[in-house]
Structure 1
Amino acid sequence: MLSDPIADMLTRIRNATRTHKETVDIPASRFKEELAKLLVKEGYVASVERLVPEGQKFDVLRVTLKYGDKREQVIKHIERISRPGRRSYVSADNLPRIQRGLGLAVVSTSKGLLPDREARKQGVGGEVVCVLW
């Protein structure tokens, strides 16, 4: 039993990009699927699809990773911020700017998962799930 499935997802993506894997399979949940779709929308991963592998009871998310022209990593750094033991909530005024706006902070708000730029524009705060650049 995992105590933090979001951290497990981010670690799987981090490890797969470092070893230049094409895809990575992650146990599925709605939150993880929304997070992966946000990463696709922001251009950090190529695609995500929900699959039911034969002989297994549980769905998996197959995340297709993205690399540059010379196989350089698109995701250089990915880090979990708000953990089960230490939650991190911020107001709209205190949303972090990652790499002077070039990175991404994923914020769980009352309006769903949003990138920090969109949360700032809508004037909502929330829980900072993770940051990446």
Structure 2
Amino acid sequence: MSLQTTDPIADLLTRIRNAAAVGKREIRVPTSKIKHVVAEQLVKNGYLVDVKLEDGKPRGTLVVTINNEGENSTINEIARVSKPGRRVYASASEIPKVKSGRGIVLVSTSRGVMTGSEAVRNKLGGEVLLKVY
């Protein structure tokens, strides 16, 4: 039985949020390119510990490590900004700041998914995917 979600990024964020709330160390999610890129950006910015692709399954599984053993999650809040019913776009000068710069937004630009500060530095706008702090 295959579970099809209409918004794979929201599904990933919900699984991360729920796992962090109950103290789980890692989660396994069905893989997609966008989920992998989003998880990689969260690892790069220190919100997740590790992400790897688990082979051997027909469609593949993404193993996301939220925190190390004995530590709490660094994610206080993670939320989807642009949704399938209401897309949110921003130019480079309009990219929002999260908690006065203590958090990040991920923006899908013409050069790939990057943080809001990278997009501003490269003078690129795009779809504001999520915010995390």
Distance in 2, Cα, partners of 1:131 & 1:74: 14
**TM-score normalized with structure 2 length:** 0.92
Report the aligned-residue RMSD: 1.5
**Amino acid across the alignment from 2:64:** V
Q: Secondary structure at the match of 1:45?
A: coil
2:115 aligned partner:
115
**Amino acid across the alignment from 1:109:** T
Distance in 1, Cα, partners of 2:91 & 2:99: 19
1:41 aligned partner:
44
Distance in 1, Cα, partners of 2:67 & 2:103: 16
Give the Å deviation of 1:66: 2.1
Q: Which residues of 2 match residues 38-117 of structure 1 at below 5 A? A: 38-53=41-56, 56-66=57-67, 71-117=71-117
**Amino acid across the alignment from 2:50:** S
User: How many residue pairs end up in the alignment?
Assistant: 130
**Amino acid across the alignment from 2:99:** Q
Distance in 1, Cα, partners of 2:129 & 2:95: 12
**TM-score normalized with structure 1 length:** 0.92
Q: In structure 1, list runs of 5 or more residues that go unmatched.
A: none
Distance in 2, Cα, partners of 1:73 & 1:47: 13
Q: In structure 2, list runs of 5 or more residues that go unmatched.
A: none
